[in-house]
Amino acid sequence: MARRTPQSSTRSTRQPQPQPLPRTRRTFGDFAKAVLAFLALAVLVVGVPLALASVIGWPLPDEAPSLDMLQREITVDTFLNVLAVVVWFAWAQFTACVLVEVKAALSGVGLPSRVPGAGPSQALARQLVAAVLLLGATAASFSPGLGQLGQQLEGHQQPAAAAAQQTPGLLGQDRAAAQSAASAVAEQAGAQAEQAAAKPSAAKGDTKYYRIQPPEGRHHDSLWEISERHLGDGRRYHEIYQLNKDRVQPDGSRLSEASLIRPGWIMEMPADATGGELVEMPDEAPKVSEELREQIADYAKSGDTATGGGSAAQEQKPDTGATDRDTQQISIPTERPAEQPQVAAPAAEGFSFGLPEALITAPLLAAGLLGALGRRRRAALWQSAMSAVGGRRGMEPPVPAGSAADVQDALLIGADPEGVRLLDRSLRGLAASLADESRPLPTVYAAWLSDGDLHLQLAQPAGEPPAPWQTGQDETFWMLARADGERYGDSEAAAPFPGLVSLGTLDDSRLLLNLEAVPGIVSLSGAAADRDAVFASVAAELATSGWSDRMTVTLVGFGEELTAIAPTRLRHLDGVPALLEMEAETRQRRGALGTAGHDSVLTGRTGPAQHTRWAPHLVLLAAEPTAEEATRLAELAADAPRLGFGYFIGTESGELPGAAWEMEITPEGRLLAPLLGLELDAQRVEAAEQRALVDLFTTADPDHEPEPGAAPPPFLVDVTEQGRPAVYARMVGPYEIIGIDAPDGSRSLLLHEALAQLLLHREGVHVRVLASALWPRGVTEDVRDALVDRLRDWLGTDEDGTPRLTTDEAGRLHLAKSVVSDLDVLRSLYHEATQGRGATDRAVRGRALTDALGLVRGPLLADRPEGRYGWLSHEIVDAQLPLLVADIGLALSAFHLEKERAGKAIEALERALSTAPDDERLWNELLRATHASGDTEALARRAADLVTRSGARGLPPRTEALLDELLPAWRDTASAAG
């Protein structure tokens, strides 16, 4: 963030002077580069043809081609002549490139013509010509500039992320100079505002224009700086943007975002703009070429219907003072993907039912949280499986209610697990390719995800990326198209950039900042509650991200309750004094790197110890530290990128020593960083959503004891003859519906899938969750509602006229009790056998368990079509069903063994194993039942079979101990059988 400076109480009457575009002082090195470039051009353009003429001479035959010529022996001279012809063609092409680039440089406007098939040649010509002209006056107008090189060479190349160069902190005298400049700009802005208010609007014929300058050194022209130079206030850049939005530029493209401008573009300026770089039309403007006058005239015609102007009222932003020209700039890809067809996501306006939109619009965060929640619930199931059979807590996880249910629905709607998988495989694939080439990982400052394409922004050039990655608009940008990324498979490589975390979005582009690579501290200013919402989002995504391995995230002064989300990754400290233990860890990491011979953790991650060392440690400090604490933190952060540390610190004043990147969060949820060229819709998790998330994870914890009466009773059906349902769905095995006619063939798949999800969630399914499950890429509201109507019509009504599908006030769809699945019956029979009448009546227990096991025909939805039912990956029913079947098999086996019916027990266990083949409890009970049968040979075969199935992992310890008891010579018997 730029520094705030209070405005003076008195306005200066001095006319504001336009701020010149910063120019880099020419050094001897620049002069040497220019001389070398001139010599290289001379050798390539003049020396090559002279050498060919003097050494080889005329390479073509002196006679007309004939059939006899093709039959002659190929000699060395023939080969040299053919090679000379190729070189002559290459020289001609390169010379044409040089002429085209020289013409574009001298004219100062427009984009150079592309020489057919001369991508690399034209790139080399452009760099040499630019170097020669660097010391001359024409260099200032060289277009399109090296910043656009990567885009223009190949028309088919995808857009890439924009640049970031090294950022020094604003310390000492630099800070004082920035504050002084901020005061001057504030004074100048006030005077300019008074002048603009008193000055009438200019006539249309006096309209002023500005041509975007090419990049020079590390400086890139921006609307903020243009506004600062020519309007006296960078905050007025919105006026320039509104005047030129969507108007066709000379190169055929349009201005669609305020941060997306290109060299050679023309900007119409507000009437009160001043400065020598402006061009007024229709004046003759003798210093401007005829070509530029024609372009401006054409551009002026395109603005006849444009609205807005210099005097338009603009929303005022906080005074950000002067711009630090050396601060690295992170910008979005210079070309946006073509607009996609209008497809509304399930989060349609007017039908939100109060769900947390912030989580719905955070697909990577939602996917990480949903995956972590599923793992937590599965752990609870398996831990429950080790307890006594019957009535165990955990077989049916608690159903969230209230705000927790809303947050879970938001996660289900917003999650993009495929996007997380694509990002993870792409980054690991890049790391593996670089390791194969014995190349280190580049330092990545940020990543942009735009319509599935991944853009990596490097701190400095790192050479050509390995295929299928491509170089972007210059050597600091690497880009991977979605189609190429989807070809990556799983990789054993370590996660190369685990510190990437989402900060926000700009339209359809999402920014991920690499906190681990920031050259210093990232600071965040704004109201405390707004800062906490951003920090909570960052903490939750880092704790659950799918593109990382091991990691430590330290939360200082906030978020103690958030550690419940990922106790192995998140830790909480009360204050900065406890954090200063990082000094010892920093020294230890520095020494370990030196001992291992690594320059940084990036080189260590590609070595043999990649999975055990160099895990990042990221610190999130929401409250502003004291001056002394800030100084010590700045010292710790000075070498942070090399050591794998990252610091994200909150501040109320907006000033923090050692802050390399400064950001501000507004009450409206905008993340501002003018010095970085960023203005995003911030990704946040508000306090209420944090509490609901913590509740979800806490209640899913295996050791959590629910409050009495907190969980709703399970959905049970009448398992007697009088309880026949109106609609019965068989899902444990092949899927089929009984009781209603089959739907229309074209809609059958969607209707069956929708019904399956409703049957698996008797507590109700939010209509947006259902739509997100059926159409993961989004769907319009009318299509969604039409499907719900068809589903309601298909299911029909009960005898009393009540619809079998209803919608409650919260927007959740509910099935009537007359619509039942075999999974409902299976659960009800098991409950009846273990906790109902079967708990006291042996006959009822045996009949219920036998009937329940008879319902099992295979895995859940065994014949589901490929490409459908992807939402099941968010569910735990695939883990619940095998456990339930195993419990039924174990209970029925115990029932038969009580009467010494070993054969019946073995039959029940074998049937249960067909659905739960990996359940250790079933195999152990099968060994006991076989031993009870007295068949020693059968027991030996069982043991040998178990040894074969276990493979290199070996038998579980409990199974080994059981075999030692039942069959002491099992090892010898198993070896003989093998």
- In this predicted structure, what is the pLDDT of residue 562? 93
- The pLDDT of 227-235, averaged and rounded, is 81
Helix intervals (H) in 458-500: 482-485
Give the tens place of pLDDT for each residue, 535-574.
999 999 999 999 998 889 999 988 899 999 999 999 999 8
* Residues 6 or more apart in contact with residue 281 via CB below 8 angstroms: 205, 207, 208, 209, 293, 296, 297, 300
DSSP string, 640-709: HHHHTEEEEEEESSS--TTEEEEEEE-TTSEEEEGGGTEEEEE----HHHHHHHHHHHHHHSTT--PPTT
pLDDT in tens, 820-841: 999 999 999 998 998 889 889 9
Q: How confident is the model over 800-822, as pLDDT tens digits?
A: 999 999 999 888 999 999 999 99
Whether the pLDDT of residue 590 is over 50: the answer is yes
- The rounded mean pLDDT for the chain is 76
- Residues 629/632/633/634 CA torsion (nearest 10 deg): 120
Q: Which amino acid makes up residue 701?
A: D
Are 644 and 658 within 8 A, CB to CB?
A: no
DSSP 236: G
The SS3 call for residue 65 is coil
What per-residue confidence (pLDDT) applies to 29? 65
Could you give phi then psi for residue 157, rounded to 5 degrees?
-70, 140
The residue assigned the tokens 């790139």 is 123
Share of the chain above pLDDT 70, in %: 73
Q: Whats the size of the chain, residue-wise?
A: 978
Helix 877-897 vs helix 920-932: angle between axes, to the nearest 10 degrees? Answer: 20
Q: What is the pLDDT of residue 531?
A: 93
> Alpha-carbon Rg of the chain, whole angstroms?
35
What contacts 102, CB < 8 A, 6 or more positions away? 129
Model pLDDT, residue 289: 67
Better pLDDT: 136 or 73: 73
* Amino acid sitting at position 44: L
- For 452-507, the pLDDT digits (tens) are 899 999 988 889 999 999 988 788 889 999 999 999 988 888 889 999 999 999 88
103 phi and psi, to 5 degrees? Answer: -60, -45
Check residue 134 and give its pLDDT: 57
Model pLDDT, residue 302: 66
* HEC readout, 829-854: HHHHHHCCHHHCCHHHHHHHHHHHHH
Lowest mean per-residue pLDDT among 101-105, 610-614, 651-655: 610-614
Q: How far apart are CA 653 and CA 232, in angstroms?
A: 25
At position 550, the amino acid (one-letter code) is R
Q: What phi-psi label fits residue 692: left (phi over 0), alpha (psi between -120 and 50 degrees) or beta?
A: alpha
What is the per-residue pLDDT across 258-276, written as a single tens digit (0 to 9) for each?
Answer: 656 777 888 888 888 887 6
Per the model's pLDDT, the better-predicted residue between 161 and 968 turns out to be: 968
pLDDT-derived band at 893, boundaries 50, 70, 90: very high
Two tokens at 513?
A: 């900042």
Q: Which residue has the tokens 């800070």?
A: 175
Q: At residue 180, does pLDDT exceed 60?
A: no
Q: If pLDDT is split at 50, 70 and 90, which confidence band does 314 have?
A: very low
DSSP 3-state percent helix, strand, coil across the chain (nearest 5): 45, 10, 40
Give 609-643 pLDDT, tens digit per residue.
454 457 889 999 988 888 888 888 888 888 777 88
Q: Which of 451, 490, 447, 489 is nearest to 472 (CA)?
A: 447
* Spatial separation of the C-alpha atoms in residues 112 and 123, rounded to whole Å: 11
**Residue 706 confidence (pLDDT):** 59
- φ, ψ dihedrals at 201, nearest 5°: -65, 140
Prediction pTM value:
0.64
Whole-number Cα distances in Å, 619 to 243, 556, 571, 645, 964: 43, 7, 10, 8, 51
- CA 19 from chain centre, in angstroms, equals 38
Whether pLDDT at 900 is above 80? yes
Which alpha helices (H) appear in 361-470, and where do they start and end?
363-385, 403-414, 417-436
Q: Residue with structure tokens 């020519």?
A: 230
